[in-house]
C-alpha cells in the first residue's frame, strides 16, 4: 500500500508489526550505547515535532484506508513524556478510528520513569503493548554490553506494565556474553522472565554485523565467540530454567538457527526435545546461518 510518509532511514520494526502503520515519533535511540546494536548508529537522537507527526497521521487518514495497528518508532519512542505519547495516541485514534492497538519499543528505565497512573492513562489512550529488549537477566553481562539496565530495573518495569494492563513482548539475545558467561546469562535470563511472566517472549541470536572484532572491542569483559552447538546449548539451559505459565514463545527471527513456536509452559518439553535433536544432529538447522558445530 502506498503511504504518503517519507521515512527517515534506516527504519526498524518488530516482525509482528509487518502490517502496521509505522510513525516515527523519535529518530534514533536515546541510549545508542549497547555494544551489540548498530541499528541507529548513523542517527542522532531527535524528538520529532508533534506537528510533523500530526501531518503524517492526517495524510494517511485522507487515504480512507482501514488501519488496525500503529507502531511508534524509532528505537526508543517510549522515552517521550506521557503527555506527548498520549497526545500522539489521541491523534491516531481521532483521525484513524479503525486502529485497535498502538505499540512501541521501550527501555525499562523509560517505563520506570512513568508512574503507575501515567501508564494506565497510556493504556486507556490505546497503547496496548511494548516491545522490550531485555537481552539478559544477568547484571554482569548487561554491564559488559553497556545496556544501561539491570535485572531489577527490568523486573520493576515489566511488573509495572502488568499492573497497568499493558502487554509486554520481551526479547533475549542468545550468545550475548559469549562462552565464558553463557551459563549465568541463560540461568538469570530465565529467572527474570519467570519473575515477570511476560505475555510474549522471543530469542534472537547475537549477530556480528560489523565483525566479531568490533564486538570484542566494545564488550567490557572476556568475550569468547560460541559455536552453533554452544549457542543451542545455551538456549537449552535457558529453556530448562524457564517456568512460564502462559507466555507465547517464538524463536523465528532470521537470526535463529532453530525455529521454536508455541506456548510456555505447555510446549516446554516439545521445545527441549527439538533442542536436544538439533544439538545431537537429529534435526536440521537453517543452513544459511550455520557457524559450524
Residues near ligand SF4, by CB under 6 A: 29, 31-32, 34, 37, 39-40, 75-76, 107, 133
The angle at the Cα of 190, spanning 185 to 193, to the nearest 5 degrees, equals 125
| 148 or 265: CB nearest ligand SF4 | 148
| 32 or 150: CB nearest ligand SF4 | 32
| 26 or 274: CB nearest ligand SF4 | 26
Instruction: Please state the closest distance from residue 108 (CB atom) to ligand SF4, in A.
Output: 10
- Per-residue CA distances from 24 to 2, 170, 259 (Å): 17, 21, 30
| 99 or 130: CB nearest ligand SF4 | 130
Instruction: Please state the closest distance from residue 34 (CB atom) to ligand SF4, in A.
Output: 3
Crossing angle between the packed helical segments 151-164 and 182-196, to the nearest 10 degrees: 20
- Residue 131 CA to residue 129 CA, distance in Å, equals 7
Instruction: Please state the closest distance from residue 111 (CB atom) to ligand SF4, in A.
Output: 13
Instruction: Please state the closest distance from residue 109 (CB atom) to ligand SF4, in A.
Output: 10
| 218 or 225: CB nearest ligand SF4 | 218
Whether residue 66 contacts residue 103, with contact meaning beta carbons closer than 8 Å, is answered with no
Instruction: Please state the closest distance from residue 256 (CB atom) to ligand SF4, in A.
Output: 18
Q: In sequence order, what are the residues at sequence separation of 6 or more whose Cβ sits closer than 8 angstroms to the Cβ of residue 125? A: 85, 86, 89, 90, 93, 102
Number of helical H runs and strand E runs in the chain: 10, 10
Amino acid at each position: 500500500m502506498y503511504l504518503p510518509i517519507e521515512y527517515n532511514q534506516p527504519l526498524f520494526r518488530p516482525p509482528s508489526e509487518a502490517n502496521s502503520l509505522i510513525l516515527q515519533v523519535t529518530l534514533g535511540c536515546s541510549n545508542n550505547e549497547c555494544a551489540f546494536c548498530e541499528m541507529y548508529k548513523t542517527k542522532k537522537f531527535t524528538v520529532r515535532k508533534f506537528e510533523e507527526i500530526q501531518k503524517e497521521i492526517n495524510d494517511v487518514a485522507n487515504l480512507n484506508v482501514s488501519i488496525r495497528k500503529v507502531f511508534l518508532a524509532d528505537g526508543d519512542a517510549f522515552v517521550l513524556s506521557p503527555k506527548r505519547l498520549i497526545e500522539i495516541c489521541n491523534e491516531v485514534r481521532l483521525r484513524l478510528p479503525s486502529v485497535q492497538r498502538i505499540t512501541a519499543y521501550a527501555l525499562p528505565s523509560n517505563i520506570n520513569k512513568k508512574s503507575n497512573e501515567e501508564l494506565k492513562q497510556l493504556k486507556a489512550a490505546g497503547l496496548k503493548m511494548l516491545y522490550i529488549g531485555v537481552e539478559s537477566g544477568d547484571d554482569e553481562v548487561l554491564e559488559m554490553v553497556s545496556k544501561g539496565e539491570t535485572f531489577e530495573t527490568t523486573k520493576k518495569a515489566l511488573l509495572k506494565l502488568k499492573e497497568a494492563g499493558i502487554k509486554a513482548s520481551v526479547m533475549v539475545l542468545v550468545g550475548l556474553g559469549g562462552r565464558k558467561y553463557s551459563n549465568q546469562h541463560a540461568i538469570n535470563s530465565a529467572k527474570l522472565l519467570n519473575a515477570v511472566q511476560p505475555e510474549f517472549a522471543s530469542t534472537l541470536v547475537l549477530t556480528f554485523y560489523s565483525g566479531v572484532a568490533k564486538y570484542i572491542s566494545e564488550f567490557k569483559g572476556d568475550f569468547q565467540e560460541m559455536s552453533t552447538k554452544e549457542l543451542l546449548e545455551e538456549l537449552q539451559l535457558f529453556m530448562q530454567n524457564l517456568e512460564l505459565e502462559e507466555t507465547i514463545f517464538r524463536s523465528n527471527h532470521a537470526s535463529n538457527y532453530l525455529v521454536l513456536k508455541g506456548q510456555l509452559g505447555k510446549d516446554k518439553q516439545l521445545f527441549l526435545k527439538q533442542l536436544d535433536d538439533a544439538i545431537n544432529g537429529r534435526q536440521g538447522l537453517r543452513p544459511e546461518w550455520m557457524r559450524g558445530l
